[in-house]
């Protein structure tokens, strides 16, 4: 028997919900357990006095110092190395076999269990270099361990700094180094700090790599050549050797709280990162079928926020299908089916938690033929906001005026807002539709050949409006007019027979396309 999709959907939600619940309960139980057992032991004197009798009594001051110093030392060593590597990889080299090997190496390094780092540190730093069990050996070992994290997060952060700022800096006569220090690094800083905090979090809780290299002395360290014991190691020894379970739990509680503090700070930093050009829409291997016919054959591309993506290609190349997949309009066609992912701000628009109606309010659409509703200009614009529950007259008025101004229509219609939208000219009707979309305050605007029915002057008006609008919106423009894409789009995607042939900066697509078919199309040899 086949279970109906509706039921499988319910069962799936129930199972997924249970899984989440179990994870949460386990997590809360562990934290609660440790805190309940440990917190009664924790006091001012526990934190700030020396241990007595191997830790059976007294405090944990030296381990607190060890836990503080060891990650600090590790970061002090790993940060310049890691950021330096990231800067070199992103700014000073081109993508070659060597950079790929370096990247592969760092990725492998990230996957190695910490005990291996411990053994390596023991053999190399402690024995071969004769550094002994010391803060220095431990710091060096931890530095190697967290290096991949710092390199990769710094690299990501540096790559996210817009290229335009680098160009400006160069054009003002700055050298590459000045550009890196004055423009790139300051703007990548929040990302780099995130990497550092993640590394600190990992080092604080590390046991295996530390016990082999920094030793387990319970004395206060006086130099980097003294052995130290971190809280994690202290806890491990106390519990394993059965010295004092109470003090072990106390240490564990302090450790858990420290890690929580570090992680909370990390999240806070990530949330408060300044908005840098991010990816607004991310399409992953999108396939759309209509019955037996596959219209879209696995399309993947990213649209950066506040840019215009031009989608070009001959008729029947599934440009419109692609566009309509982004706001789930294809679902309205019976027999359509899709595979793959469409992420809007990292949220799957086809995910179970996403409501198609709410989605279409965030993603506005303008169609090829202007379709004003048979009502006044004012009511056309107020239609969407009223559906969202905006009733206040003053709010509506300002919203409508700003929308009309943004669509460059205000001056032409301000004296006749009450006349029918159908009485406007074709070009004005299309700008009215654009304004109507803007009145919904969407984040993403989809335009399906908005100028196909318009004369050149109205087209120019729409294009002008679009270039102004991208300061605040992300725009995807499907067009049959390649020149239009060349004029307004920041990046251009060329579709052919349901396939994405090429996607890149508009200038490159039109001047130096990588694919012969793109070349043929943009130079007008077919299409």
Residue carrying structure tokens 């009707």: 429
Q: How far is the CB of 87 from another protein (least distance, A)?
A: 16
Return the residue of 169, 330, 429, 479 that touches another protein, per CB under 8 A. Answer: 169
For 136, counting Cβ atoms within 10 Å of its Cβ (0-12 exposed, 13-18 middle, 19+ buried), the class is buried
Rounded to an integer, what distance in angstroms lies between the CA atom of residue 507 and that of residue 490?
8
Return the residue of 5, 111, 242, 274 that touches another protein, per CB under 8 A. Answer: 274
519 binds another protein, rule: CB under 8 A: yes
98 binds another protein, rule: CB under 8 A: no
473 binds another protein, rule: CB under 8 A: no
Could you write out the DSSP letters of every residue in 356-386? HHHHHHHEEEE-SS----SSBHHHHHHHHHH
For another protein, the closer CB: 87 or 211: 87
Return the residue of 36, 167, 241, 515 that touches another protein, per CB under 8 A. Answer: 167
Count of residues that bind another protein according to CB under 8 A: 32
For another protein, the closer CB: 318 or 407: 407
Residue 490 three-state SS: coil
For 38, counting Cβ atoms within 10 Å of its Cβ (0-12 exposed, 13-18 middle, 19+ buried), the class is buried
32 binds another protein, rule: CB under 8 A: no
Return the residue of 5, 111, 173, 242 that touches another protein, per CB under 8 A. Answer: 173
**Contact string 432-471 vs another protein (x = CB under 8 A):** --------------------------------x--xx--x
Return the residue of 77, 136, 150, 183 that touches another protein, per CB under 8 A. Answer: 183
Do 448 and 367 touch, CB atoms closer than 8 A? yes
Return the residue of 88, 120, 124, 170 that touches another protein, per CB under 8 A. Answer: 170
Rounded to an integer, what distance in angstroms lies between the CA atom of residue 390 and that of residue 63?
60
Q: How far is the CB of 181 from another protein (least distance, A)?
A: 10
Q: Looking at 124-132, 257-265, 325-333, 483-491, which segment touches another protein (CB under 8 A)?
A: 483-491
Q: Looking at 7-15, 158-166, 291-299, 333-341, which segment touches another protein (CB under 8 A)?
A: 158-166
Q: How far is the CB of 411 from another protein (least distance, A)?
A: 12
- What residues have CB less than 8 Å from 396, skipping those under 6 apart? 382, 385, 386, 390
Residue carrying structure tokens 């700003």: 402
Tally the residues of the chain. Answer: 527
20 binds another protein, rule: CB under 8 A: no
Do 463 and 481 touch, CB atoms closer than 8 A? no
> Residues 385 to 414: which contact another protein by CB under 8 A?
408
Could you write out the DSSP letters of every residue in 177-227? HHHIIIIIHHHHHHHHHHHHHHHHHHHHT--HHHHTTT----SPP-STTS-
Based on C-alpha coordinates, what's the Rg of the chain?
A: 30
Return the residue of 99, 187, 263, 294 that touches another protein, per CB under 8 A. Answer: 187
21 binds another protein, rule: CB under 8 A: no
Return the residue of 15, 220, 261, 512 that touches another protein, per CB under 8 A. Answer: 512
For another protein, the closer CB: 342 or 466: 466
88 binds another protein, rule: CB under 8 A: no
> Could you write out the three-class secondary structure of 477-488?
EECCCHHHHHHH
Do 245 and 29 touch, CB atoms closer than 8 A? no
Rounded to an integer, what distance in angstroms lies between the CA atom of residue 376 and that of residue 396?
14
Q: How far is the CB of 510 from another protein (least distance, A)?
A: 5
φ, ψ at 444 (rounded to 5°):
-130, 135
Q: How far is the CB of 270 from another protein (least distance, A)?
A: 18
Q: How far is the CB of 466 from another protein (least distance, A)?
A: 10
Q: Which residues bind another protein (CB under 8 A)?
A: 94, 162, 164-165, 167-175, 178, 182-183, 187, 274, 408, 464, 467-468, 471, 483, 486-487, 507, 510-512, 519, 523
């Amino acid at each position: 028997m086949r279970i109906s999709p509706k039921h499988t959907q319910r069962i799936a939600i129930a199972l997924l919900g249970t899984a989440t619940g179990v994870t949460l309960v386990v997590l809360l139980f562990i934290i609660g357990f440790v805190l309940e057992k440990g917190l009664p032991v924790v006091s001012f004197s526990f934190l700030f006095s020396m241990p007595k009798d191997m830790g059976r009594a007294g405090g944990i001051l030296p381990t607190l110092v060890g836990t503080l110093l060891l990650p600090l030392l590790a970061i002090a060593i790993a940060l310049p190395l890691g950021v330096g590597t990231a800067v070199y990889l992103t700014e000073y080299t081109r993508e070659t076999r060597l950079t790929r090997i370096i990247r592969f190496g760092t990725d492998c390094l990230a996957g190695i269990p910490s005990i291996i780092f411990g053994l390596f540190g023991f053999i190399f730093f402690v024995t071969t270099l004769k550094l002994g069990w010391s803060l220095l050996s431990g710091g060096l070992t931890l530095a190697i361990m967290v290096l991949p994290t710092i390199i990769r997060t710094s690299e990501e952060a540096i790559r996210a700094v817009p290229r335009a700022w680098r160009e400006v800096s160069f054009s003002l006569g700055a050298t590459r180094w000045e550009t890196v220090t004055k423009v790139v690094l300051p703007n990548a800083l929040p990302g780099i700090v995130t990497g550092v905090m993640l590394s600190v979090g990992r080092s604080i809780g590390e046991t295996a790599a530390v016990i082999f290299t920094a030793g387990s002395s319970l004395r206060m360290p006086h130099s980097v050549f003294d052995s130290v014991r971190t809280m994690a190691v202290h806890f491990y020894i106390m519990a394993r050797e059965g010295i004092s379970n109470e003090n072990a739990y106390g240490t564990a509680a302090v450790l858990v709280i420290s890690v929580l503090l570090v992680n909370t700070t990390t999240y806070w930093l990530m949330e408060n990162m300044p908005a840098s050009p991010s990816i607004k829409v991310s399409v992953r291997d999108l396939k759309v079928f209509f019955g037996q016919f596959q219209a879209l054959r696995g399309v993947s591309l990213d649209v950066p926020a506040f840019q215009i993506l031009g989608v070009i290609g001959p008729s029947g190349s599934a440009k419109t299908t692609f566009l309509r997949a982004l706001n789930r309009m294809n679902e309205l066609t019976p027999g359509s089916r899709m595979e793959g992912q469409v992420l809007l701000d990292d949220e799957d628009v086809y995910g179970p938690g996403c409501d198609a109606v709410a989605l279409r309010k965030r993603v506005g659409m303008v169609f090829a033929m202007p379709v004003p509703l048979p009502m006044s200009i004012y009511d056309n614009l107020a239609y969407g906001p009223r559906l969202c529950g905006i009733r206040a007259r003053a709010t509506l008025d300002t919203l409508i005026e700003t929308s009309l101004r943004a669509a460059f229509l205000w001056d032409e219609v301000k004296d006749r807002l009450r006349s029918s939208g159908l009485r406007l000219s074709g070009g004005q009707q299309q700008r009215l539709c654009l304004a109507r979309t803007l009145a919904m305050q969407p984040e993403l605007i989809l335009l399906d050949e908005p100028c196909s029915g318009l004369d050149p002057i109205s087209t120019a008006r729409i294009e002008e409006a679009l270039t102004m609008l991208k300061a605040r919106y992300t725009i995807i423009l499907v067009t049959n007019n390649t020149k239009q894409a060349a004029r307004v789009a920041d990046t251009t995607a060329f579709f052919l027979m349901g396939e994405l042939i090429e996607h890149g900066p508009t200038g490159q697509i039109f001047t130096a396309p990588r694919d012969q078919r793109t070349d043929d199309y943009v130079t007008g040899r077919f299409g």
